[in-house]
Structure formats: C-alpha cells, structure tokens
Amino acid sequence: FVEPVVLPPSGRTVSRHTIINNKWRDPFSREYIENRRLVPNVDKRIEVETFLAMRVLYDKVKKAEKRVR
C-alpha cells in the first residue's frame, strides 16, 4: 500500500496504483471513478507504516540475537 485510498462506491480500501492500473475503475464494481472522488485513507497508511517499521525493528533484533549465539 503505497497510497491507500477509499473507493466511494464500495467503501473498500485499495492502493491508488490499483485504480490507475484498472483504467480508473473500481475493481469490485467496475464503476468508473474520477481521481477527485478517491479519498486518502490516512488511518490505513499510518497502520501500514507502523507495521513496516515494527517489522524492520523485529528483523534487526533477530539478527542481533543470532550474532550473540
């Protein structure tokens, strides 16, 4: 999810890239969507960024533990 957006017709969250690749159509309803109707999903972006940051930290801890053994 590089840039998550909410689709007005279905209320689902997808990446803006998904909409562009689907020729500006909702992949679930196939309804045409104008760019200005897409709503940025800030909460999902924060959730994804937090997950990724925690994953990086987890990987660093695991690597450090392997060095100690």
Residue 69 has a pLDDT of 67
Residue 60 has a pLDDT of 85
9 contacts 56 by C-beta, under 8 angstroms: no
How many Å apart are CA 6 and CA 16, to the nearest integer? 9
Residue 9 has a pLDDT of 79
Query: For the chain, how big is the Rg over CA atoms in Å?
Result: 17
Residue 38 has a pLDDT of 93
Return averaged pLDDT per consecutive 10 residues of the chain, 69 residues in all.
87 93 90 92 94 89 79
pTM confidence score? 0.72
Q: Is 6 helix (H, G, I), strand (E, B) or coil?
A: strand
